[in-house]
Amino acid sequence: MAISFNFFLLLLLLAGSTTAFPNFFLSPSFYSNTCPQLHGIVRSAMKEAIRNDTTIGAGLLRLFFHDCFAGGCDASVLLDDTRASVGEKTAPANKNSLRGFEVIDLIKKRVEAACPQTVSCADILALAARDSVGLLHGPRWNVRLGRSDATAAEQNAASFSLPGPGSSLPILLTMFAAKGLDARDMVALSGAHTLGRSHCSLYRERIHGDSNIDPAFSAALRSTCPLGSGNATVTAPFDRTPGRFDNMYFKDLVAFRGLLKSDQALYGGSLVDPLVEIYSEDNAAFGRDFAAAMVKLGDLSPLFGLPGEIRLNCRKVNA
Ligand code: HEM
Ligand SMILES: *[C@@H]1O[C@H](CO)[C@@H](O)[C@H](O)[C@H]1NC(C)=O
Ligand SMILES: *[C@@H]1O[C@H](CO)[C@@H](O)[C@H](O)[C@H]1NC(C)=O
């Protein structure tokens, strides 16, 4: 029994990078002739945005994930609802909690002024997510560029592809595997919850019902997030250092202080316990795996040229 369990675990861990393959159309130097100012514009805008609101980096990192999981990294998540089509912003996993659209609008305006009709919203989002992590003391990586923007939103894709706060480990593994992301990618990417916060409605059940939770941790949260409907604006940080990109998320999981059921599902008699333990002890290993997994995430079904477009306003398709 023990042998076959370990063997399965080994297969899971060794599945490695064979599932997703790099996309040959994307390249870090895609705009080096057509918009050499691009990287500087995005980075300085992100610096400014984070100076204005230290929590906004979390919003942009999450936006990128939600864009890529709903039909590929094609800026479909940025589209506003129109009379003719309901966008992704109101899909269950996104409703009322995605943030950072104004920052993308501002960056897009500056990029359009420097290099008109050249850089896609999808690429701007990929760069903004990378710079958010880097500016908050996390790893940096080369962002592969050259995506074009979707001409329609994909609300259905957003609804069935995105995991929820109650997802179990098998569900999480299955949803990421459906995108060519293995267990190691999934655990490393979940470490994005080192940044940001969750609303009370999404962790209420866990802090009032779960047994795999540090009792002091749940008791402290229960006072501001009681059973029943309560105050809808109450939030709690995912880890003890929500403004810093570090491995505290994994240290907190090992201490049974995961905020969502889906967070704690990664640790405590789970198949991926060894990965959580490695990341909790080795911030550099986490940073390396996170960066590699973000590149893979960014390779999900990008569009090239037609039928995509270089949107002029990230919120709506070109007329
Ligand atoms: C593994 C499955 C995942 C689940 C079930 C999940 C679920 C959630 C939920 C429920 C929230 C709270 C939303 C709110 O109340 O406003 C959240 C926030 C967040 N998620 Fe995830 N997420 C997952 C993976 C990821 C990944 C892969 C990334 C990025 C690479 C990510 C980045 C974030 C960030 C940065 C926040 C904080 C947002 C903010 O403070 O505005 N998540 N996630
Ligand atoms: C930062 O705040 C200033 C003042 O409110 C505003 O003009 C500017 O556009 C903001 N910058 C970003 C990147 O959000
Ligand atoms: C709800 O919670 C927020 C943030 O914690 C607080 O600022 C606000 O006063 C609360 N509102 C009510 C009605 O208790």
Q: Counting ligands in written order, which one lies closest to the CA of residue 199?
A: 1
In-domain check, residue 170 = no
Q: How confident is the model at residue 22 (pLDDT cuts 50, 70, 90)?
A: low
pLDDT, tens digit, for every residue of 58-71?
A: 999 999 999 999 98
pLDDT, tens digit, for every residue of 129-168?
A: 999 999 999 999 999 999 999 998 877 777 789 999 999 9
Q: Which atom of ligand 1 is nearest to the CA of 197?
A: 40
Residue 3 has pLDDT above 50, yes or no: no
Measured distance CA(164)–CA(254) in Å, rounded: 21
Same domain for 206 and 139: no
* Both structure tokens of 313: 């306003």
In-domain check, residue 191 = yes
Weakest mean pLDDT among 3-12, 139-148, 195-204, 240-249: 3-12
Q: Tell me the mean pLDDT in the region 42-54.
A: 98
Same domain for 188 and 281: yes
Helix/strand/coil for 214 = coil
In-domain check, residue 301 = no
How far the first Cα of the chain sits from its last, in Å, is: 62
39 is catalytic: no
pLDDT at 188: 98
In-domain check, residue 8 = no
Q: 69: domain range?
A: 21-163
In-domain check, residue 289 = yes
Beta-bridge mates of residue 235? 199
Task: Indicate the residue among 133, 163, 193 that finishes a domain.
Answer: 163
Same domain for 158 and 67: yes
Q: Which amino acid, residue 230?
A: G
280-to-88, 176, 192 alpha-carbon distances in Å: 34, 21, 14
Same domain for 29 and 138: yes
Residue whose CA is at the smallest distance from ligand 2 atom 3: 52
Residue whose CA is at the smallest distance from ligand 3 atom 4: 234
CA 271 to centroid of chain Cα atoms: 22
Q: Which atom of ligand 3 is nearest to the CA of 232?
A: 1
Mean pLDDT across the chain: 90
Residue 82 has pLDDT above 50, yes or no: yes
Task: Indicate the residue among 95, 129, 163 that finishes a domain.
Answer: 163
In-domain check, residue 310 = no
The CATH number linked to 39 is: 1.10.520.10
Same domain for 184 and 159: no
Q: Rounded to the nearest whole angstrom, what is the distance from the C-alpha of residue 193 to the centroid of ligand 1?
A: 6
Q: Rounded to the nearest whole angstrom, what is the distance from the C-alpha of residue 62 to the centroid of ligand 1?
A: 6
Q: Rounded to the nearest whole angstrom, what is the distance from the C-alpha of residue 230 to the centroid of ligand 3?
A: 10
Q: How confident is the model at residue 1 (pLDDT cuts 50, 70, 90)?
A: very low
Q: How confident is the model at residue 91 (pLDDT cuts 50, 70, 90)?
A: confident
The percent of residues above 90 in pLDDT, for the chain, comes to: 78
Q: Tell me the mean pLDDT in the region 212-237.
A: 94
Same domain for 186 and 281: yes
Same domain for 277 and 146: no
> Is residue 197 within 6 Å of ligand 1 at its C-beta?
yes
145 contacts 25 by C-beta, under 8 angstroms: no
Same domain for 142 and 34: yes
Same domain for 217 and 101: no
Residue whose CA is at the smallest distance from ligand 2 atom 14: 49
Same domain for 131 and 234: no
In-domain check, residue 261 = yes
Judge whether 88 is annotated as a binding position.
yes
89 contacts 66 by C-beta, under 8 angstroms: no
> Is residue 65 within 6 Å of ligand 1 at its C-beta?
yes
Q: Rounded to the nearest whole angstrom, what is the distance from the C-alpha of residue 72 to the centroid of ligand 3?
A: 37
Residue 31 has pLDDT above 80, yes or no: yes
Judge whether 193 is annotated as a binding position.
yes
Q: Counting ligands in written order, which one lies closest to the CA of residue 191?
A: 1
Judge whether 76 is annotated as a binding position.
yes
Question: Which is higher by pLDDT, 291 or 4?
Answer: 291
pLDDT at 231: 84
Residue whose CA is at the smallest distance from ligand 1 atom 10: 165
Same domain for 197 and 83: no
Same domain for 208 and 106: no
The CATH number linked to 191 is: 1.10.420.10
Residue 38 has pLDDT above 80, yes or no: yes
151 contacts 165 by C-beta, under 8 angstroms: no
Q: Residue 235: phi, psi to the nearest 5?
A: -135, 165
Q: Rounded to the nearest whole angstrom, what is the distance from the C-alpha of residue 234 to the centroid of ligand 3?
A: 7
Q: Which atom of ligand 2 is nearest to the CA of 48?
A: 13
Residue 298 has pLDDT above 90, yes or no: yes
Pocket test for ligand 3, best of 233, 234, 235 (most atoms within 8 A of CB): 233
Catalytic residue (one of 39, 66, 199, 208) = 66
Total domains present in the chain = 2
Q: How confident is the model at residue 319 (pLDDT cuts 50, 70, 90)?
A: confident
156 contacts 94 by C-beta, under 8 angstroms: no
Q: Which atom of ligand 1 is nearest to the CA of 99?
A: 41
- Highest mean pLDDT out of 24-33, 102-111, 220-229, 230-239: 102-111
In-domain check, residue 314 = no
E strand intervals along 215-265: 235-237
- Cα four-point dihedral sign 111, 115, 117, 118: negative
Quick one: which of 65, 85, 117 has its CA closest to 316?
Answer: 85
